[in-house]
Amino acid sequence: MASGLAHELNQPLSAISTYCQAGLRIVDTFDDKPEKLVHALEHASIQSQRAGEIIRRMRRFTGKGAVRRKPVNINQVIKNVLGFIETELNRKQIKLELELAEELPAAIADEIQIEQVILNLLHNAIEAMFSTSDNMRLLRVSSRRSAADTLQVTVKDSGPGMDAATLDRIFDTFFTTRKNGMGLGLAISRSIVEAHGGKLWAESTAGSGATFHFTVSTTAT
Q: What is the DSSP string of 129-182?
A: GGGS-GGG-EEEEEEEEEETTEEEEEEEE-S----HHHHHHTTSTT--SSTT--
- Per-residue pLDDT band at 221 (split at 50, 70, 90): low
State the pLDDT at residue 145: 96
Question: 20 CB contacts (<8 Å, ≥6 apart)?
Answer: 41, 42, 44, 45, 48
- Per-residue pLDDT band at 3 (split at 50, 70, 90): low
State the pLDDT at residue 139: 95
Residue type, 61: F
Segment 89-96 shows an average pLDDT of: 91
What distance in Å separates the CA atoms of residue 17 and residue 96, rounded to the nearest whole number? 32
- Per-residue pLDDT band at 140 (split at 50, 70, 90): very high
Residue 166 has pLDDT above 90, yes or no: no
Nearest to 120 by CA among 42, 59, 200, 52: 200
Name the CA radius of gyration of the chain, rounded: 19
Q: What is the pLDDT of residues 5-59, one digit of tens each?
A: 666 787 888 889 899 999 999 999 988 889 999 999 998 988 888 777 777 766 6
Residue 167 burial class via C-beta count within 10 angstroms: exposed 0-12, middle 13-18, buried 19 and up: middle
Segment 146-164 shows an average pLDDT of: 92
- Give the chain's mean pLDDT: 86
What distance in Å separates the CA atoms of residue 71 and residue 110, rounded to the nearest whole number? 9
**Which residues is 12 bridged to in the sheet?**
none
What distance in Å separates the CA atoms of residue 206 and residue 162, rounded to the nearest whole number? 5
State the pLDDT at residue 1: 59
Helix (H, G, I), strand (E, B) or coil at 97: strand
State the pLDDT at residue 141: 97
Residue 123 has pLDDT above 80, yes or no: yes
- Per-residue pLDDT band at 183 (split at 50, 70, 90): low
Residue 16 burial class via C-beta count within 10 angstroms: exposed 0-12, middle 13-18, buried 19 and up: middle
- Per-residue pLDDT band at 121 (split at 50, 70, 90): very high
**Which residues is 202 bridged to in the sheet?**
212
State the pLDDT at residue 48: 86
What distance in Å separates the CA atoms of residue 152 and residue 178, rounded to the nearest whole number? 27
Q: Would you give the end-to-end CA distance of the chain in angstroms?
A: 28
Segment 187-212 shows an average pLDDT of: 90
Q: Which of the pair, 33 or 118, is modelled with greater confidence?
A: 118
